[in-house]
């Protein structure tokens, strides 16, 4: 099916999901919308996140997508159930794939979660993990500085390092698996891994979500069967300088992935 996979996020974090979709499903077209104007969603109240998410969804539905990925943990926490119920295309959030991957990987059943305040306070990961396996012990930690820091393009360097160390020092020491419960966090994965040591396996909700989109598209016979390179479309609601920088430099779309990519400003 040649229709696109729609991807929405509060800003640039969801680009890690788009990147993984393009890597794992190179034949699929992506239409991405990042609400950079109103980012971050993490500290916003539930009804506001819901409203903003619906604005984005409506923008993508006009572009006739075959599946919707909510590439934002906060938006997934607040809107997944509602969107699954109301849309007649598969809706995939980023929480459940990360939870299932962690259940697969953990040996000790002690799993850590880091995310925005919204995601952590919503308890969405505890619920997703325990729904499947009640034996999992969950250790959550809100990291309110990470997403804004990454949105500024601060992905390495002294100050980022300091913030990541100070935050990760508060994580429970006995976990063997950590879910990066915010799609921004893969962009500072190396820093987080360094602070925790190699005994802890990091689960990228971005990678795992792309993997499950692949599963669902195949099970529902919706994989694209054509072999031409897809023309991806990227939209932002605000300034897109950091956005384009992340697309080009950090995620390396230019070098390793598919072209062409169009980037446009969206009014939603």
Annotated binding residues for substrate, written as ranges, equal: 9-10, 41-42, 73-74, 183-184
For residue 133, the minimal CB distance to a second copy (Å) is: 6
Q: Please say which residue, 19 or 44, places its beta carbon nearer to a second copy.
A: 19
For residue 215, the minimal CB distance to a second copy (Å) is: 5
For residue 129, the minimal CB distance to a second copy (Å) is: 11
- What is the distance between the alpha carbons of residues 244 and 49, in angstroms, rounded to a whole number? 24
According to the 3-state scheme, what is the secondary structure of the chain?
A: CCCCEEEEECCCCCHHHHHHHHHHCCCCCEEEEECCCCCCCCCCCHHHHHHHHHHHHHHHHCCCCCEEEECCHHHHHHHHHHHHHHCCCCEEECHHHHHHHHHHHCCCCEEEEEECHHHHHHCHHHHHHHHHCCCCEEEEEECCCHHHHHHCCCCCCHHHHHHHHHHHCCCCCCCCEEEECCCCHHHHHHHHHHHHCCCCEEEEHHHHHHHHHHHHHHHCCCCCCCCCCCCEEEEECCCCHHHHHHHHHHCCHHHHCCCCEEEEECCC
Would you list which residues are annotated within the binding site? 9-10, 41-42, 73-74, 183-184
- What is the distance between the alpha carbons of residues 179 and 176, in angstroms, rounded to a whole number? 10
Spatial contact of 53 and 80, defined as CB atoms under 8 Å apart: no
Q: Please say which residue, 30 or 171, places its beta carbon nearer to a second copy.
A: 30
Q: Please say which residue, 159 or 220, places its beta carbon nearer to a second copy.
A: 220
For residue 267, the minimal CB distance to a second copy (Å) is: 33
For residue 206, the minimal CB distance to a second copy (Å) is: 11
Q: Please say which residue, 37 or 223, places its beta carbon nearer to a second copy.
A: 223
Residues near a second copy (CB under 8 A): 24-27, 90, 96-97, 100-101, 103-104, 131-135, 207-208, 210-212, 214-216, 218-219, 223, 227
Q: Please say which residue, 164 or 217, places its beta carbon nearer to a second copy.
A: 217
Taking alpha carbons only, the member of 216, 243, 204 closest to residue 20 is 204
What is the set of active-site residues? 72, 182
């Amino acid at each position: 099916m040649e229709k696109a996979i729609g991807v929405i996020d509060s800003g640039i974090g969801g680009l890690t999901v788009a990147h993984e979709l393009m890597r794992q499903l190179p034949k699929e077209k992506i239409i991405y919308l990042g609400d950079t104007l109103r980012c971050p969603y993490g500290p916003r109240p539930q009804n506001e996140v819901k409203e903003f998410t619906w604005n984005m969804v409506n923008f993508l539905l006009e572009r006739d997508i075959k599946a919707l990925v909510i590439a934002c943990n906060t938006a997934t926490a607040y809107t997944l159930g509602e969107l699954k119920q109301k849309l007649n295309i598969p809706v995939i959030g980023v929480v459940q794939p990360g939870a299932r991957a962690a259940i697969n990987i953990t040996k000790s059943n002690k799993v850590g979660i880091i995310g925005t305040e919204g995601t952590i306070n919503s308890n969405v990961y505890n619920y997703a993990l325990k729904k499947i396996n009640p034996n999992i012990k969950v250790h959550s930690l809100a990291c309110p500085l990470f997403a804004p820091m990454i949105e500024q393009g601060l992905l390495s360097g002294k100050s980022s390092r300091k913030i990541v160390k100070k935050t990760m020092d508060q994580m429970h020491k006995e976990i063997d698996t950590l879910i990066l419960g915010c799609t921004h966090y893969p962009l500072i994965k190396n820093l987080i891994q360094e602070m925790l040591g190699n005994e802890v396996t990091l689960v990228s909700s971005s990678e795992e979500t792309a993997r499950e989109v692949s599963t669902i598209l195949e099970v529902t016979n919706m994989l694209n069967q054509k072999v031409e390179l897809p023309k991806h479309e990227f939209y932002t609601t605000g300034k897109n300088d950091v956005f384009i920088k992340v697309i080009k430099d950090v995620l390396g779309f230019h070098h390793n992935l598919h072209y062409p990519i169009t980037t446009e400003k969206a009014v939603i």
